[in-house]
Amino acid sequence: MREGASPAGLVEVRRALDRPLDIQVLSRDDFDRRLSEAYAGNGLVGAEGIGQGDDLDALADDLPATADLLDAQDDAPVIRLINGLIAEAARSGASDVHIEPFESALLVRFRIDGVMREALTLPPRLAPMLVSRVKVMARLDIAERRVPQDGRISLAMGTKALDVRVSTLPARNGERVVMRILDKGAGARPLEALGMPAPVLAALRTALAQPNGIVLVTGPTGSGKTTTLYAGLQALNDGSRNILTVEDPVEYAVDGIGQTQVNARVGMSFAAGLRAILRQDPDVVMIGEIRDPETAQIAVQASLTGHLVMSTVHTNDALGAITRLRDMGIESFLLASTVRLVLAQRLIRRLCPHCRQPRAPDVLSARLMGPDYGGPLFAAAGCPQCQQSGYAGRIGVYEAVNIDERLRALIGAGADEDALAGAAAVSGDWLADSARACVAAGTTTPEEALRVVRQDERSMPA
C-alpha cells in the first residue's frame, strides 16, 4: 500500500481474496518500483498474453506457417512476438534489438552491455511479417522497401515508459530492422553516480563552472556520452540559469531544461535549432552532437558570445576532438580560445561478482598490464545471475584533458595530435591506464579492456 493512499480499497481486496492481508506501507518510489517489478512482464501496451511465463521460442512457435501477408488470417501471433521481443529486451537491459534477415535464417539479436547476443532464430520466410509489424507500430510505409526509414514507438511496460527508435535498412535478403530502446523514466543521473575517478570529476566540475567556453565529450556510439552530458546539465540545473538543448532525439525529459528535438523533415537540423535557441537568451546550451561544419561554427560563435556550450564528438580519444573540429573548418586560434575541457570515455563490461574466477597471467594480460605485473587477474565464467555471460553491467573509463595555457598555445599554433599529447595536462589517467586500473581492481578482464580501449605509445605500461 502506498503511503498516504486511502485504505478503502483494502476492504474490497480482502473481500475478493477472502483471507487476511499482510499490509506493507511503502513510500511512493518504493511502491512504483514494486509495481514495475510485479508487472514488468505483463504491462506492455497492446501485448495481449505476454506474461513472465512466456518465452520467445514459445511465441515463435505460434507464428503462422505462411509468409504471405495477404494469406495470414490472424496477425495476433506476430503482434505477440514483436511485443515479446521488446519486453524481453527491456527486462534484459538490452539497448538495441536487431532483426536481421539472412538467406538461411532470420536472426534476432540483443545488444546487452555493448555486446551482441543471439535471442532467437526463425525461418527466413517470416521476415516480411515481423518487419511489417514493426513498421506499422512505428508508423512507417510498409509498402516502401527500397529506401531506409526511421520512426519511433511509444510503449508502456508496467509503470515503465519506453521510447523505441526504429531504423530500417534495405539489404540483400530483405529489410534489416534495429530498435533502440530508451527508458523515458530513467532520468538524468547525478555526476557522482557515473563512477568517474576523483581527478576527472573535479576537472569536469571546474569546466562546468565556467561562464563560457566549450566542454566536449568524445567516444563511439553507445559509450555513454549522452548520459554524461545529462549529468552535467543536471549539476547546473539549479534554477539560476536558462538551459536549452538541441537533441536527436530527446532521450530523457528533465524538468527545468528546455529541450528541442531535431526534425529533418521540416528543416529543423542541429544548426537550425542552435540558431533558434541562441535567440532564447540561454546561459547554457547543449548540442546532442557536432556532426557538420555549420553546427561547429555556430557552437564556437556561441561560446565566444558568453555561452557555455556542451556537446559530443565522435573521436577515438580526447585530443582527437581538436583534430576533428579542425577538419570541420574551425580555425586553430578559435579552438584555443573556446575549448575548456575534452572528456573521452568508454564503457567496459563489469565482471559478474557471483562467478568470476582467478586466472593465471598470459600473453593478453602481459600485453595490457606489462610482463612484470604480479597483481590479481580474473576471468569471466558465467552463471544464471549473469545469463551465462560472465559479466553484469558496465562501468565507465575516462580521460579528461584540460586545455591549460601551454596546450592552448600549441593548439593556437596548429600543433598536431602527437605534440598535443606530449603537453596535455590529463586529469587522472589516459583511457588505457584507466582500463588497466579496472583490471587490477578485479572489476573486468584483460580481454574486455583490450576490446574497448586501444593501446598506443603514450598509454603503454611502464
Beta carbons of 380 and 356 less than 8 angstroms apart? yes
For the chain, the straight-line distance linking the first and the last C-alpha, in angstroms and rounded, comes to 59
Q: Is the pLDDT of residue 52 over 60?
A: no
Beta carbons of 275 and 285 less than 8 angstroms apart? no
Phi then psi for residue 436, to 5 deg, are -60, -40
Instruction: Order across the sheet with 115-122: list the strands.
Output: 115-122, 106-112, 94-101, 174-183, 160-171, 149-157
pTM for this predicted structure: 0.79
Could you check whether the bond before residue 249 is cis, i.e. omega within 30 degrees of 0? yes
Between 159-163, 290-294, 400-404, the lowest mean confidence (pLDDT) is in: 159-163
- Using a pLDDT cut of 70, give the percent of the chain over it: 84
Q: Is the pLDDT of residue 50 over 50?
A: no
What are the grid coordinates assigned to 170, written together? 534495405
Could you check whether the bond before residue 197 is cis, i.e. omega within 30 degrees of 0? no
- Map residue 42 onto helix, strand or coil: coil
- Residue found by looking up cell 565566444 in the block: 304
Residue 71 — very low, low, confident or very high, per pLDDT cuts 50/70/90?
very low
Pairing of strands 94-101, 106-112: antiparallel
Per residue in 213-252, pLDDT (tens digit) is 999 999 998 899 999 999 999 999 999 999 999 998 888 8
Beta carbons of 348 and 368 less than 8 angstroms apart? no
Per residue in 38-48, pLDDT (tens digit) is 544 444 443 33
Beta carbons of 382 and 453 less than 8 angstroms apart? no
* Domain regions of the chain by residue span: 1-39, 40-183, 191-459
Beta carbons of 291 and 321 less than 8 angstroms apart? no
Strand partners, 402: 341, 425
CA dihedral angle for residue 221, residue 227, residue 230, residue 234, rounded to 10 degrees: -170
Phi then psi for residue 269, to 5 deg, are -90, 175
CATH architecture of the domain with residue range 191-459 = 3-Layer(aba) Sandwich (3.40)
CATH architecture of the domain with residue range 40-183 = 2-Layer Sandwich (3.30)
Pairing of strands 213-218, 339-351: parallel
Question: Which is it for the CA torsion 442, 444, 449, 453, positive or negative?
Answer: negative
Residue 74 — very low, low, confident or very high, per pLDDT cuts 50/70/90?
very low
Strand partners, 263: 268
Beta carbons of 181 and 96 less than 8 angstroms apart? yes
Per residue in 406-417, pLDDT (tens digit) is 999 999 999 999
* Whole-number Å distance between alpha carbons of 437 and 439: 5
Pairing of strands 284-287, 243-247: parallel
> 191-459: same fold as 40-183?
no
Q: Where are the alpha helices (DSSP H) in 93-190?
A: 127-137
